């Protein structure tokens, strides 16, 4: 079989998402299982979004608008850019694949940090092979080290991904540092600001949204998603903003009908409900602070986060701890696939979900340390 396969595909380590709740219920005979593994918004989507979905169900016999016209127009209005600056995708992952396919030439490389979103590596490997992917080390605080990244650009690095806040560490870079980095990168390179967790940032005044750089016609691409704060992870809707010339190229590789009818309508409705977004951010901030304190109370090292998750180091065998938690109905995320094998990531849930997790974690750690 291997002789039939593109050799790039054989180099890919498959992405391993958090286990589905139903799988754990069947495997361990559990009634209650909480999933805090995928950085989802644990709040149910608001009624106006539910109604938009119900309305669209009568139209499912028709293909969606392949141009995503109404959604792109509203995204443009919402962000203060032109429609020609926006492209929509089936989640930001699809747009990452489109970017690499459209802009990476033979011999060129994708550059990012270690300990970041693993789909950058797998998308690059699928399209151009493992040798086309380059990582720079993080700093001691588990942040992107822009100086280290700059030192590895060289002649080959064409696309540079900066994840801010970073997944899975939750760390953030100050606006001045990112703007200085952008200003020193040669104009024939492409800088991608993956802002999937932008809404959760505590100080928007010290955050680079990328919109100013797009207005200056720089080769900056901003990635955003409806999967996190807007709670639409199950519908897979994301978008990118960039100067028109970049968007025009991406449209050449964009699959037709890539965002479903329901996804487009739900995303449109989400942008009309700032109250839901703002309340989600407020609850996340409150519950994150409480969970951070609880984890520290167990004597664990926890990384301060500007997102909707926390990275922590349990100080015991991660695989063994993960198995114990699954048996107790708790799904969180071991970080071996992200290059941090001694850490785990827990999404910020509702207060009762966080308490359920902490109680089971405390019990499991006590047993493993006996």
pLDDT at position 198 is 97
pLDDT at position 45 is 96
pLDDT at position 4 is 64
Distance CA 220, CA 189 (A): 9
pLDDT at position 217 is 84
Radius of gyration of the chain (CA): 21
Burial bucket for residue 48 (CB in 10 Å: 0-12, 13-18, 19+): middle
pLDDT at position 369 is 84
From first to last of the 370 residues of the chain, give the pLDDT tens digit: 666 667 767 676 666 666 777 777 776 777 788 999 999 999 999 999 999 999 999 999 999 999 999 999 999 999 999 999 999 999 999 999 999 999 999 999 999 999 999 999 999 999 989 899 999 999 999 999 999 999 999 889 999 999 999 999 999 999 999 999 999 999 899 999 999 999 999 999 899 999 999 988 889 999 999 999 999 999 999 999 999 999 999 999 999 999 999 999 999 999 999 999 999 999 999 999 999 999 999 999 999 999 999 999 999 999 999 999 999 999 999 999 899 999 999 999 999 999 999 999 999 999 988 7
Closest-CA residue to 217 (of 243, 188, 191): 243
Closest-CA residue to 198 (of 223, 169, 179, 178): 223
User: Are 171 and 201 contacting, i.e. CB atoms less than 8 angstroms apart?
Assistant: no
Q: How many residues does the chain have?
A: 370
The interaxial angle of helices 91-103 and 119-128, nearest 10 deg, is 40
pLDDT in tens, 126-157: 998 989 999 999 999 999 999 999 999 988 99
pLDDT at position 211 is 93
3-state secondary structure string, the chain?
Answer: CHHHCCHHHHCCCCCCCCCCHHHHHHHHCCCCCEECCCCCCCCCCCHHHHHHHHHHHHHCCCCCCCCCHHHHHHHHHHHCCCHHHEEEECHHHHHHHHHHHHHCCCCCEEEEECCCCCHHHHHHHHHHCHHHEEEECCCCCCCCCHHHHHCCCCCCEEEEEEECCCCCCCCCCCHHHHHHHHHHCCCCCEEEEECCCHHHCCCHHHCCCCHHHHHCCCCEEEEEECCCCCCCHHHCCEEEECCHHHHHHHHHHCCCCCCCHHHHHHHHHHCCCHHHHHHHHHHHHHHHHHHHHHHHHCCCEEECCCCCEEEEECCCCHHHHHHHHHHCCEECEECHHHCCCCCEEEECCCHHHHHHHHHHHHHHHHHHCC
Closest-CA residue to 228 (of 165, 148, 303): 165
- pTM above threshold 0.85: yes
Domains of the chain: 2-44+275-368 (3.90.1150.10), 47-270 (3.40.640.10)
User: Are 345 and 17 contacting, i.e. CB atoms less than 8 angstroms apart?
Assistant: no
Distance CA 123, CA 110 (A): 10
pLDDT at position 32 is 87
C-alpha dihedral, 50 to 52 to 54 to 57, nearest 10°: -140
C-alpha dihedral, 255 to 260 to 264 to 267, nearest 10°: -100
For tokens 């492409």, what's the residue? 190
pLDDT at position 18 is 66
| Residue 88, C-beta contacts closer than 8 angstroms, at least 6 positions apart | 68, 71, 72, 75, 237, 238, 239, 258, 259, 264
Closest-CA residue to 318 (of 338, 340, 291, 288): 340
pLDDT at position 33 is 86
User: Are 271 and 45 contacting, i.e. CB atoms less than 8 angstroms apart?
Assistant: no
User: Phi, psi (5° rounding) for residue 296?
Assistant: -65, -35
Distance CA 258, CA 113 (A): 29
- Cα-to-chain-centroid distance, residue 256: 23
């Amino acid at each position: 079989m291997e002789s039939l396969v593109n050799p790039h595909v054989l180099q890919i380590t498959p992405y391993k998402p958090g286990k589905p709740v139903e799988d754990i219920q069947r495997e361990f005979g559990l009634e209650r299982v909480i999933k805090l593994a995928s950085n989802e918004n644990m709040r149910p989507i608001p009624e106006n979004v539910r109604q938009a979905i119900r309305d669209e169900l009568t139209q499912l016999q028709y293909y969606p608008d392949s141009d995503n016209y109404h959604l792109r127009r509203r995204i443009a209005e919402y962000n203060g850019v032109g429609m020609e600056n926006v492209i929509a995708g089936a989640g930001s992952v699809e747009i990452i694949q489109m970017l690499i396919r459209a802009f990476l030439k033979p011999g060129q490389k994708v550059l990012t940090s270690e300990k970041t979103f693993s789909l950058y590596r797998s998308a690059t490997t699928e399209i151009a092979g493992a040798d086309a992917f380059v990582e720079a080390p993080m700093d001691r605080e588990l942040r992107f080290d822009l100086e280290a990244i700059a030192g590895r650009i060289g002649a080959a690095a064409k696309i540079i991904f900066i994840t801010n806040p970073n997944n899975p560490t939750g760390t953030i870079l100050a606006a001045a540092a990112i703007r200085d980095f952008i200003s020193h990168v040669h104009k024939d390179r492409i800088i991608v600001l993956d802002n999937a967790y932008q809404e959760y940032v505590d100080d928007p005044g010290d955050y680079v949204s990328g919109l100013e750089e797009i207005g200056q016609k720089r080769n900056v691409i901003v990635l955003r998603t409806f999967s996190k704060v807007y709670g639409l992870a199950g519908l897979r809707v994301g978008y990118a903003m960039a100067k028109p010339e970049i968007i025009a190229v991406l449209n050449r590789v964009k699959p037709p009908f890539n965002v479903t009818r329901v996804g487009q309508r739900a995303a449109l409705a989400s942008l009309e409900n700032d109250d839901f977004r703002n309340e989600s951010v407020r609850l996340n901030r409150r519950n994150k602070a409480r969970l951070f304190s609880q984890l520290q109370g167990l004597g664990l090292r926890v990384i301060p986060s500007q997102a909707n998750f926390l990275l922590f180091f349990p100080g015991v065998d991660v695989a063994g701890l993960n198995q114990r938690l699954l048996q107790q109905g708790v799904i969180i995320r071991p970080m071996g696939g992200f290059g941090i094998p001694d850490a785990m990531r827990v999404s910020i849930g509702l207060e009762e979900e966080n308490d359920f997790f902490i109680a089971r974690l405390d019990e499991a750690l006590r047993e493993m340390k006996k």
